[in-house]
Structure 1
Amino acid sequence: MKGKPLIPFFLIAVAGLLLTLGLSLVGVNQQAGDGGEEEAAEQDPVEYGEEVAMENCVSCHGDNLEGASGPDLTTAGEKYSAEEIADIAQNGTGDMPSGIANAEEAQAIAEYLMSLSEE
């Protein structure tokens, strides 16, 4: 009885394992080099705040932050200090839940909303 050669199957298995290991290492390197927080630190805080607000705030405060189920944020800088805005963004108030933004994001949101009041 003639058996099937195992070498092609073995080579395919080894190639698959090496490919999996290689792709895993590439993913780890990309994740380690992502630098999302480093980029935020290097980026203009007002621009970063706008990005964060557009990701996290528009669902309740509307596409232009002029109010929807949440209040108008375009005039928040006239009503609150930057510290108060950052605190609200991080810790919530009233119907707004906490945890919407971390401390860095909350500060950036505050700077962005303060810039809207200056315009």
Structure 2
Amino acid sequence: MAHNSDGNEKQVHYVGDSRVKAKKEKLYPKDYSEFPGKTEAFFPNFLLKEWMVAVVVMVGFMALVMAHEPPLGELADPTNTSFLPVPDWYFLFLYELLKFEWASGPFVVIGTVVVPGVMFGALMLVPWLDRSKERRPFKRPVTTGLMMLSLISIVILTWAAEDEHQKQLASLPRGADENTEIVAVEDPGFEIYKNNACVNCHGQELEGLQGPSLRGIGDGYTEDELFDIIDHGKGTMPAGMFQGTEEEKKVLVDWLLKQTTGEEKKEGQSDH
């Protein structure tokens, strides 16, 4: 720093000195405080802009929805016990959440109201809960951590729900084979079958109605496996459907084992 004759200070500039570091621009976004007077209020200015963008996106989305015919399934049938209801993909994480003991049954309010309410409520309150001027994610560990935790949880729950649904679909038995005939129609086991709840789902001719076909079932199951299915259920079939005695159950199983296609039974085969 130097002084001239009138006493005023005069700035001295050093040129070409390698010891003086050149001033470089920051490589990260500037802090909000570096834009004085150029910010805007979240409500209503910023929020109004976001709503306008949301409206444009919604209009485009609805145009696509109306342009493509939705893939409809079968007609609604309350007696169809083989139907597996599944929500749309964006609600699969909540669908999976309700399968946990602490979020279902007597605690279903936690899974349907409390948890979603906390999640979406926190999302709406973010502008007021996080008032940090920092824009870099690693400088806002709490907010960034919560967001990453939410995203990871939604992805994992969605994947778990879809994976379980695909396994349930794979476990459903195949439909009836029209070319396979009923064996031993005069057998007492056939009468026991028709006089029980089995006929409501599997049909009078074992053709399969709401449940799978039983034609050729003797090729796919052993005696012990049939007893286990009758006692404990399988897939969408609940336990305790058979209301007869143990002797009648044994006669029914023996008759079901006779329902074969005449082909050699494959070892370890467990579906029909």
* Residue of structure 2 in register with 1:83 after alignment: 224
For 1:113, the aligned partner's letter is L
Q: Given the alignment of the two structures, is residue 108 of structure 1 paired with residue 108 of structure 2, yes or no?
A: no
Aligned mate of 2:233, from 92, 100, 103: 92
Q: Please state whether the residue corresponding to 2:258 is helix, strand or coil.
A: helix
Q: Distance in 1 between matches of 2:247 and 2:238?
A: 17
For 2:257, the aligned partner's letter is M
**What's the CA shift for 1:91?**
1.9
Q: Distance in 2 between matches of 1:48 and 1:90?
A: 20
> Larger C-alpha radius of gyration, 1 or 2?
2
**What's the CA shift for 1:107?**
2.2
Q: Which has the larger displacement, 48-57 or 58-67? A: 48-57
For 1:55, the aligned partner's letter is N
How does 1:1-119 map onto structure 2 within 5 Å? Answer: 47-56=187-196, 57-101=198-242, 102-117=245-260
Structure 1 runs not aligned, ≥5 long: 1-45
Change (3 A) 1:97 1:112: same
Change (3 A) 1:87 1:105: farther
TM-score (norm 2): 0.25
**What's the CA shift for 1:90?**
2.2
**What's the CA shift for 1:118?**
6.4
Structure 1 vs Structure 2 CA RMSD: 2.1
Q: Distance in 2 between matches of 1:103 and 1:87?
A: 13
Tell me how many residue pairs correspond in the alignment: 74
For 1:106, the aligned partner's letter is K
Q: Indicate if the aligned counterparts of 2:216 and 2:261 stay in contact, CA closer than 8 A.
A: no
Q: Which has the larger displacement, 66-75 or 109-118? A: 109-118
For 1:89, the aligned partner's letter is I
Q: Distance in 1 between matches of 2:247 and 2:233?
A: 15
Structure 2 runs not aligned, ≥5 long: 1-185, 263-272
Q: Indicate if the aligned counterparts of 2:231 and 2:240 stay in contact, CA closer than 8 A.
A: yes
Which structure has greater helix proportion?
1
| Alpha-carbon displacement from aligned partner over 1:48-92 (angstroms, at most 9, x marks no partner) | 321221112110001101111110111111110122112212221
Q: Tell me: higher relative CO, structure 1 or 2? Use CA pairs within 8 A at least 6 residues apart.
A: 1
- Residue identity over aligned pairs, in percent, reads 36
Q: Distance in 2 between matches of 1:87 and 1:105?
A: 15
